[in-house]
Amino acid sequence: MEFDVVIGLEVHVELKTKTKMYCGCKNEFGGVANSHCCEICLGMPGVLPNINKRAIEYAIKAGLAFNCKINTSTKLDRKNYFYPDLAKSYQISQKEQPLCVGGFVEILLDGGTKEKRIRLVQIHVEEDAGKIIHMPESDEIFVDFNRSGVPLIEIVSEPDLCSPSEVKAFLETIRNTALCLGISDCKMQEGSLRADVNISLKQKGSSKFGTRCEIKNVGSINGATRAAECEIKRQKEVISSGGEVEQVTFRWDETLNENMVMRKKDKSVDYGFFAEPDLPQVEILNEEIEEIKTSICELPNQKIRRLMADYKLPYADAYLLMEDDEKNAMFEAVAADFSGEPKKVANWILGDLTRILNKQNISFADSKLTAKNLEKMLEMIENNSISNTAGKTIIEVLMKQDVHPETIAKQQGLLQQSDQSVLEDVVREVLLENTHVPELFKKGKTNILGFAVGECMKRLKGSGNPTLIKEILLKQIQGSVEV
């Protein structure tokens, strides 16, 4: 039996506002338990919420980035349920008039060669709950409310995803976009990006959807991808062996690498949603939306596609540059003037330069390297004035001081010897002293040429142009053969 996989995602993204969603407490990860709390986020009697306007602005930003319609009049709803980490015993969320509706997330697949639109149902704002801490040594349970009231957006997709790799691409796009918009730090280890994954299988060609299972609160992109893989496999096995998929809610266990059953259908929760009477309708002006729109920069997937199209970069290079604004700025500044292939610039930035930066644990901003100097250095390699190896030596200096690369090359004797007659003399000398070279070459051992080039370089103290030396060597050996 063949199946179509149907996946829908609900992604929670913590917003990095200075303060919490409904009170003035610091929105900061960690800290001494219950130190970022007040009567409001502790759900004390009589207190009232106050909407964080910045959180609304961030949510609108996300909505615009994902092509949603922004509701200029939106309201908040109470989602009622009991849980020890939920201070008020209800979460202030949105159900009926979410802030952002519709829209889509465009994901890149197959090495950036394919695009797919994943439609969105909505993006709404809500608040996070506290954290339950089980004491390992005793059966005591504590609650830390530092996270209680941290602003979240929930991005709800249509069931448009068809595979674990699409789940990965979708979540990566959301993470990259949120980072680019500056609305979240998306730190997985701090739980600032979490996903609920809904999965069902459909017989190929059939229009009837299968029973859906949900995996709740997966805290990493890899986890979500793995959880989807496991659940697809499980459902396939159930159906193939003649069984029926039951509606189950799972929890992904990162350490065990498997989905654990949380509850079955009969225990579904009734949230008794109703409009939050403690907050007024939120009205948003069109001018405000326009202003937010102008603050949105080039989005990650747009950038990847542009880098691939304009500079003929492969997807992997474009992705790495998209992830790092500094490196990308350096790349684009150098590539704009560089006469050679842009790919060579990317290789240097993503290869040697990144290695040096990582080794010294610094960023471009901490170094003295300018785009102008890097470009000049690459031109010198391009026109054979220096070797690649010399380039590496020069780069190390350029990181520390702003000087012309040619000055360094001269000072350190790194300029390549490209004078035809000088090189011919050296080659002649080497061939005279190493008569076995032409003999072996004639017998077909062409790799002996490398040895000869090396001998020439020794005599030239490394400053010879290896390409030219090789050409001359070949010419002289072949000349002697003819003689």
Binding site for other proteins (CB under 8 A): 39, 42-51, 78, 80, 82, 84, 87-90, 96, 143, 270-275, 277-280
Least distance from C-beta 23 to other proteins, angstroms?
A: 10
Angle at 432 between CA 429 and CA 435, to 5 degrees: 140
Give min distance, CB of 90 to other proteins, in A: 6
Closer residue to other proteins in complex, CB, 143/423? 143
Identify which of residues 279 and 474 has a Cβ nearer to other proteins in the complex: 279
User: Which residues does 207 contact at the CB level (< 8 Å), separation at least 6?
Assistant: none
Phi, then psi, of 134 in degrees rounded to 5: -90, 125
Closer by beta carbon to other proteins, 42 or else 178? 42
Do 434 and 426 touch, CB atoms closer than 8 A?
Answer: no
CB neighbourhood size of 123 (10 A) = 26
User: Looking at this protein, which amino acid is placed at residue 437?
Assistant: V
Nearer residue to other proteins within complex by CB, 272 or 413: 272
Q: How far is the CB of 83 from other proteins (least distance, A)?
A: 8
Question: Which CB sits closer to other proteins, 38 or 403?
Answer: 38
Q: Specify the residue, 35 or 240, whose C-beta has the smaller distance to other proteins.
A: 35
The amino acid that residue 54 corresponds to is R
Neighbours of 31 (CB within 10 A): 13
Q: How far is the CB of 260 from other proteins (least distance, A)?
A: 19
Closer to other proteins by CB, 95 or 470: give it: 95
The two three-digit tokens of residue 386, written as one number: 């220096």
Other C-beta atoms closer than 10 Å to the C-beta of 110 total 11
Of 131, 119, 123, the C-alpha closest to 152 is: 123
Torsion of CA 128, 132, 133, 136, to 10 degrees: -140
Q: Is there a contact between 38 and 71 (Cβ–Cβ < 8 Å)? A: no
- As measured in angstroms, the least distance from the Cβ of 374 to other proteins is 53
**Residues 124, 126, 132: CA angle, nearest 5 degrees:** 140
Closest distance to other proteins from the beta carbon of 169 (Å): 34
Angle made by CA atoms 230, 233, 235, in degrees to the nearest 5: 110
Minimum distance, C-beta of residue 195 to other proteins, in the bound complex (Å)? 24
